[in-house]
């Protein structure tokens, strides 16, 4: 469970979207605005190591997407476009400016969707950790394209996962734990693993299945060349997401900086090795210019 010293001084708040959904967020610190955007089925609380560190120098906000964490759990809106619209409304509600958007996994897709719909409105920098621009391989692609993009799933493979999450007769919680287990290094603490699974299960599995399907079917390659703010792209050599994904994304965004983490560098590297992750972000913020 979260350590008290890391969460000291962190406040909770709620913002209501235009379709009546209350979004929960965590907030700490003062200074330039930093928005921490979780991935699929993740929560704001999972950014606790980043909140504790960056709140020393920044005004940090971490969001629970609709259905996730402490946010309302409506029966609608589990699509990338709706979640990125939610964040646009949260930014407006909190009057954030020159936002440093730090994203994990699906949070990168939300950044790309945000850019597609709202351009760089109120954004100053992007930090994108561990998400391919395309997740599902296409059968008509030429040899080698899927590998270069880091597109790691076949359509049938992901369909089985989605069916397992949504089917009334399946053990969706066990499937979720198995799915998440691939995202750690073998050295990850078992208590951490269990806590993260519990955080993930705060999103009802039916909604998780809907959102996962929408997420994996997107192709953001046409958006990346239009991004016009300084961008850091991070991958992990131990991650289930191939490092090729980060290389491909960074090569498509004008002027993007690429970093590949090497130690405890799983898909949850921001949790397993927060010192290295946070240092890469700080170095980027110290050296990049808007």
Query: pLDDT digits over 14-68, tens only?
Result: 999 999 999 999 999 999 999 999 999 999 999 999 999 999 999 999 999 999 9
Report the C-alpha gap between 275 and 270 in whole angstroms.
Answer: 8
Q: Quick one: pLDDT at residue 2?
A: 43
Report the C-alpha gap between 290 and 121 in whole angstroms.
Answer: 13
Long-range CB pairs of 2-10, under 8 A, 24+ apart, other chains included: 2/45, 2/48, 3/48, 5/52, 6/48, 6/49, 6/51, 6/52, 7/48, 7/51, 7/52, 9/55, 10/51, 10/55
Q: Quick one: pLDDT at residue 1?
A: 39
The model's pLDDT over 161-186, given as tens digits with 9 standing for 90+, comes to: 899 999 988 899 999 999 999 999 99
Q: Give the mean pLDDT of the chain.
A: 95
| β-pair partners for 272 | none
DSSP 8-state secondary structure symbol assigned to residue 215: H
Q: Quick one: pLDDT at residue 132?
A: 98
Cβ contacts of 262 within 8 Å, gap of 6 or more: 237
The model's pLDDT over 240-276, given as tens digits with 9 standing for 90+, comes to: 999 999 999 999 999 999 999 999 999 999 999 999 9
Strand order in the sheet with 33-37: 11-16, 22-28, 59-63, 33-37, 99-104, 123-129, 231-236, 257-261
Model's pTM, two decimal places? 0.95
Report the C-alpha gap between 286 and 127 in whole angstroms.
Answer: 13
The model's pLDDT over 193-227, given as tens digits with 9 standing for 90+, comes to: 999 999 999 999 999 999 999 999 999 999 999 99
- Number of C-alpha atoms within 13 angstroms, CB side, residue 29? 22
């Amino acid at each position: 469970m979260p350590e008290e010293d890391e969460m000291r001084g962190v406040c909770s708040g709620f913002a209501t979207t235009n379709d009546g959904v209350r979004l929960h967020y965590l907030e700490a610190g003062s200074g330039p605005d930093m928005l921490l955007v979780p991935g699929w089925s993740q929560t704001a609380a999972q950014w606790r190591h980043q909140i504790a560190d960056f709140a020393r120098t920044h005004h940090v906000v971490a969001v629970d997407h609709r259905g996730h964490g402490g946010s309302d759990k409506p029966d609608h809106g589990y699509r990338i476009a709706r979640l990125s619209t939610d964040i646009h409304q949260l930014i407006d509600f909190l009057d954030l400016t020159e936002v440093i958007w730090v994203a994990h996994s699906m949070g990168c897709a939300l950044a790309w969707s945000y850019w597609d719909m709202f351009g760089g409105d109120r954004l100053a920098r992007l930090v994108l950790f561990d998400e391919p621009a395309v997740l599902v391989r296409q059968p008509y692609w030429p040899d080698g394209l899927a590998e270069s993009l880091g597109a790691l799933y076949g359509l049938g493979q992901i369909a089985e996962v989605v069916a397992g999450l949504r089917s009334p007769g399946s053990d969706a919680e066990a499937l979720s734990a198995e799915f998440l287990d691939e995202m750690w290094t073998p050295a990850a603490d078992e208590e951490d693993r269990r806590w993260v699974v519990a955080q993930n299960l705060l999103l009802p599995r039916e909604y998780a299945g809907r959102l996962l399907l929408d997420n994996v079917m997107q192709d953001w390659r046409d958006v990346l060349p239009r991004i016009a703010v300084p961008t850091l792209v991070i991958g992990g050599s131990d991650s289930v997401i191939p490092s090729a994904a980060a290389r491909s994304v960074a090569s498509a965004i004008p002027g993007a900086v690429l970093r590949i983490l090497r130690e405890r560098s799983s898909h949850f590297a921001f949790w397993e090795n927060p010192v290295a992750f946070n240092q890469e972000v700080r170095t980027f913020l110290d050296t990049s210019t808007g």
